[in-house]
Structure 1
Amino acid sequence: MELLGFGAGGWGWSFLSGLVVTLEVAILALPLGLFLGLMIALGRRSKSRLLRIASIGYASAFQAIPELLTIFAIYHGCSQLIQLLMSQLDVQTAWTVPGVGAGSFALSLVFAAYSSEIWLGALAGIGRGQYEAALSLGLPGIASLRNVILPQAFRLALPGLGNLWIILLKDTALVSLISVSDFMRQVNLAVAATHRYFVLYLFACLGYIVLTKISEFGLERLNLRTSRHLVRTA
């Protein structure tokens, strides 16, 4: 327990700061991933053939590419691109893309590809009568989507999106490979310093289990709240 403690020689504060960074990466990736996923789903339902092809192509590409490769491409590729642009302006700099930002953005792109499938299924699950009712009320397309369709689609999509959130939490461990001081990187640093492999990796497993269980509890409460208006029949 001294190894995991917060006193001298303990790694407790390092692990706690790593957990904060892990949550930061996941929380930063979530809203952009949800929004892009919704846009892709709407694009796949569009009447425009070009928009449908582009949306399907995006989802297929990011579902096929490993998450780690996406993270490396964003982190190293964008850093190199910025340095190239700076060199064209005769500005000498070694500035690189922040690891937290690059990791969050890369994971949001992957999250969007998978969440688009869930949004697509949720939108398909809304009856045509809902669209006709919004039209009969004189609501324009954006207002109809925001006030009538999306609230219902979100309730239908929530279980699937919740599963993706848990997957996203676990995928944040990949950002440790671009030197982000997340929970997994702090554990690896502790292992390298102490060689206590079994204890520390077991502790890492327990840490992710705790994050998952807390998320499951929160998602369950959110699901109950979004479904509170539904009438249960025998």
Structure 2
Amino acid sequence: MTGLQLLGFGQNGWGAWLLVAALMTLAVTATALAIGAVLGALVASARLSGSRTLSFFGHVYTTIFRGVPELLIIYLIYFGGASGLTAIAQSMGYDGFFGMPSFVAGSLAVGIISGAYQAEVFRGAYQAIPKGELEAAAAIGMSRALRFRRIIIPQVLRLAIPGLGNVWQLSLKDSALVSVTGLVELMRASQVAAGSTRQYFMFYIVGGALYLVLTSLSDRVFNGAERKANRSMPSAAIGKV
């Protein structure tokens, strides 16, 4: 078979398999980013709370999950989660082994890693908010909840967009490591196709090209979001931020 036939969408082609795997990669990355956003917001709040205890635990979280290899985290979640589920099931009288679903384990692991980076993005975005805005809001009698809703959240989200774009790209590449759990995402699909056809060079090149397509499209989305978020801001103010 020719290369075009192998990459086609016919009966013996791998094109549909690779596209579905690319969608799985996006699903893992999007789920991980959502998990990381929740964890990152909580950790950033802890770091900014003024409590030495909360700040210490937040610092420990970001230090560990930014410093430990991503593959090790995936193994710990996947195999450790399976052991934990099995132990819980056995304590309730059930026999047998209970495995951790690959998608859940992969998304959770990448999400925990993402959360460590997002925490620093959110913390830096909050610290970049002009203090005068918060002081002015307090001076006119805004409650803390109202300041948080009308000033802090919109400003943090606007300032965090570039950093979140970088975290998305990092998570997109980390999703390739989830293939070790057996989940058929883009990396795993490229590996299976290459092994089945012995066309290693072609399928790994195609897999890399699809990753570049995903990252390029992601760049356009985040750049568009950044322009939209900043369109109401004066150019001079944006430059200072």
Normalising TM by the smaller chain, what interval? Answer: over 0.9
- Distance across 1 between alignment mates of 2:91 and 2:98: 15
What CA deviation, in whole Å up to 9, does each residue of 1:147-173 have, x standing for no partner?
A: 211211111111111011111111110
The answer to whether structure 1 residue 46 and structure 2 residue 39 are counterparts is no
Select the residue among 109, 134, 145 that pairs with 1:106. Answer: 109
The equivalent of 1:88 in structure 2 is 91
Matched AA of 1:113: A
The equivalent of 1:66 in structure 2 is 69
The answer to whether structure 1 residue 31 and structure 2 residue 34 are counterparts is yes
The equivalent of 2:6 in structure 1 is 3
- Distance across 2 between alignment mates of 1:82 and 1:140: 44
For residues 172-187 of structure 1, what are the structure 2 equivalents within 5 Å? 172-187=175-190
The equivalent of 2:24 in structure 1 is 21
What CA deviation, in whole Å up to 9, does each residue of 1:101-120 have, x standing for no partner?
A: 11111111101111111111
- Distance across 2 between alignment mates of 1:75 and 1:139: 46
Select the residue among 218, 226, 229 that pairs with 1:226. Answer: 229
> Runs in 1 of length 4+ with deviation above 6 angstroms?
none
Q: TM-score, normalised by structure 2?
A: 0.93
- Distance across 2 between alignment mates of 1:158 and 1:226: 9
Q: CA deviation at 1:134?
A: 2.6
Q: CA deviation at 1:13?
A: 1.4
Structure 1 portions without partners, runs of 5+: none
The answer to whether structure 1 residue 127 and structure 2 residue 94 are counterparts is no
Contact 1:19-1:183 within 8 A present in 2 as well: yes
Contact 1:176-1:185 within 8 A present in 2 as well: yes
What is the alpha-carbon root mean square deviation over aligned residues? 1.4
Matched AA of 1:189: V
- Distance across 2 between alignment mates of 1:134 and 1:36: 28
What CA deviation, in whole Å up to 9, does each residue of 1:63-122 have, x standing for no partner?
A: 111111111111110111111111122201332121111111111110111111111111
Q: CA deviation at 1:213?
A: 0.6
Structure 2 portions without partners, runs of 5+: none
Comparing 155-164 with 174-183, greater Cα deviation is found at 155-164
- Distance across 1 between alignment mates of 2:128 and 2:77: 35
Matched AA of 1:230: M
Select the residue among 53, 76, 80 that pairs with 2:79. Answer: 76
- Distance across 1 between alignment mates of 2:8 and 2:63: 45
Q: Secondary structure, in 3 states, of the residue corresponding to 2:5?
A: coil
The answer to whether structure 1 residue 154 and structure 2 residue 157 are counterparts is yes
Between the two proteins, what is the percent identity of the paired residues?
Answer: 35
Q: TM-score, normalised by structure 1?
A: 0.95
Equivalenced residue count is 234
Comparing 15-24 with 144-153, greater Cα deviation is found at 144-153
